[in-house]
Amino acid sequence: MRRYAAALSILLCILLCGCSAEQNAVQPALDFRTKLLAAGGCTFSADFRADYGDKLFDFSADCVYDGKNGTVTVTKPDTISGIAASANDDSAALSFDGVTLALDDLGEGRVPPLSAAWLFGSAWRSDFISAGGDDGGRYRVTILRGYDEDELQIDTWFDGGVPVSGEIAYKGQRVLSADFSDFSFLQQE
């Protein structure tokens, strides 16, 4: 009986340590989320790559996520520089000055490339944190947005507590990737 109790105690310790390790693995993501919520949002620049399967489209943008809305202002290529798009849970808008932008949605219409600031920002702020841990010396967090057929997987790599790169995948296929720079939290007034 004592051996049974000892074995059960050891098993419980192992299971409880596993839960603690899992919590510790996502703690940096939770800490980042806490800072993002306290700041009310963030700004960053990004080099994006939209992957349509048969073609790639690269563009750079300055991005703002204010806790509800995401705004992307294209900086490169020069032919579409200045085009701005904003998005939130309810709507999206594109503004431009005499330029027509033909940039189709990715992931069967679930990932509009010019909604990238909102997609990343809202995922960081409130979507389900699925996993976290070390990946090549950087912290990687996987966030799931939506359910079943609509689910997006949003992976972000952090260095020094801020995002440095990210990917959005739909049905196991990467459809949008980003290299982030000049990341900063908004300041609450």
Residue 52: per-residue pLDDT: 84
Structural class in CATH, domain 26-180: mainly beta
Name the most confidently modeled range: 12-21, 32-41, 84-93: 32-41
Q: How far apart are the first and last CA of the chain?
A: 64
Model pLDDT for residues 125-165, shown as the tens digit of each residue: 999 999 999 999 999 999 999 888 889 999 999 999 999 99
**Alpha-carbon gap, residue 127 to 133, rounded angstroms:** 17
Amino acid type, 81: S
* pTM recorded for the entire structure: 0.80
In this predicted structure, the answer to whether residue 8 has a pLDDT above a threshold of 50 is: no
Q: Confidence class of residue 80 from pLDDT cuts 50, 70 and 90?
A: confident
Q: Confidence class of residue 95 from pLDDT cuts 50, 70 and 90?
A: low
In this predicted structure, the answer to whether residue 72 has a pLDDT above a threshold of 60 is: yes
